[in-house]
Structure 1
Amino acid sequence: MAVTSPYLIPSAPVTFEEEIKRSRFITLLSHTPSSAEAKAFIQRIKNAHPQAGHHCWGFVAGPPTDSMQLGFSDDGEPSGTAGKPILAQLQGSQIGEITAVVIRYSGGIKLGTGGLVKAYGGGVKQALSLLTTKTRVAIEYIAIEYDYALQGAIDDLTREYDLSIKSSTFTEMASITVSVEAIQVTSLLKKASLFEDTKLRVRRLEPKE
């Protein structure tokens, strides 16, 4: 599913720490544009805190509406008391490309399932309140092949839709690959279709994995 709406992403990492019944909870948030980067961040935190009893986490690795790029772990805490509350806070924030890791150094006092849910979810909520964000504008890529006689029309489209040329080849016909804001793609394709000329071909490129 193509993403057509801009969304917020973290602009800087955040660390929030608190003590609850002698247990020390450290919540870390980071910008992670992919599942691989989310997992790498989680591993870095584990490596940095090898003595911690638990490294619980959740991530939204893509746009906030993309349910295919989610993940969470209780890392040994009772099922449903850590990973799910962490992920719920991230999803509720409507921020994309974000990972939260909550480290727990146990103080020996049991918190109970309700206390754990509150501690893990609450830590992420507090960290999110400190987070600064920026807007990710969704981008798509379009291939345009055209006769040189249509260069003026292509220049007009470039200005109108603020196209950014990423590559070009010039043989019998000109071929360019451009990036454009996703919300503009439908309009661009419709405008290009008005050129009833077989010497202008415009097609949407599939995103690279």
Structure 2
Amino acid sequence: MPFTIARPVSFEEDIKKSRFLAIAAPVENEQAVKDFLAEHKDFSTTHQCWAWKIGHNVRFNDDGEPSGTAGRPILATIEGNALTNVLVLVNRWYGGVKLGTGGLVRAYGGTAGQCLMLAEKIELIEKKRVSFQCQFNEWAIFQYELSLHQIEFSEEYTAAGVAVHALLQVHQIQPLALKLQDVTRGREQLKIIEEPEDD
């Protein structure tokens, strides 16, 4: 059963005069990773090292630290906690004392690990993107239904009615498909949008 974290958490510690600040956040896709890193860009830091895992995809960055001493240990803590859809960013402000490669591995991995220990772990529920069409007079019913179940959606008004895109938990797909058939008297079908596999 895959797990992710419920909400962003942070942990800070000083190691031999260097200040380390780890921030862990749940992420759904690579765009969310880019947005998070852009939002947390901090020019006062000496290094901003990070790692993320989404499904089978992983990436990490040493940001100028010796290769393998920062990003990889951060990734190892994510995988060691059996987490996915998680990004951990560790900021370092250099304090004048060199830590050596072993010290860096321990500092980055340790700070990331402490941060993840503070996080509330939740079961990752698989979601799928779906789309459907409905007429203007039917839209209020679906709008209510989607809001009631706290489903993320976007609607687009067309000449023919309303085109809807939504992100559903897997167990919500069948009930919505039945509701759609019921309200539209079988005229419309719920379409599942297959996500392209990126390796």
Would you call these one fold, judging by a TM-score over 0.5? yes
Q: Point out where structure 2 has 5 or more consecutive residues left out of the alignment.
A: 132-170
- 1:85 maps to 73
- 1:100 maps to 88
- 2:189 maps to 176
Output the aligned Cα RMSD.
Answer: 2.4
**Same amino acid, percent of matched pairs:** 33
**Displacement, 1:100?**
0.4
- 1:51 maps to 44
Aligned length: 153
TM-score (norm 2): 0.69
Q: Point out where structure 1 has 5 or more consecutive residues left out of the alignment.
A: 1-5, 144-160, 179-204
TM-score (norm 1): 0.66
Match status 1:15 vs 2:10:
yes
> 1-side partners of 2:127 and 2:15: how far apart?
43
Which structure would you say has the larger Rg? 1
Name the amino acid aligned to 1:24: R
Residue number among 100, 115, 129 corresponding to 1:127 in the alignment? 115
> 1-side partners of 2:59 and 2:69: how far apart?
15
**Displacement, 1:208?**
3.4
- 1:74 maps to 62
1:101-141 deviation line (CA, Å, top 9, x unaligned): 00000001000000000000011111111000222222457
1:23-55 deviation line (CA, Å, top 9, x unaligned): 000000011111111122112111xx2111000
Equivalent residues of 1:30, 1:98 under 8 A apart? yes
Secondary structure in structure 2 of the residue aligned to 1:50: coil
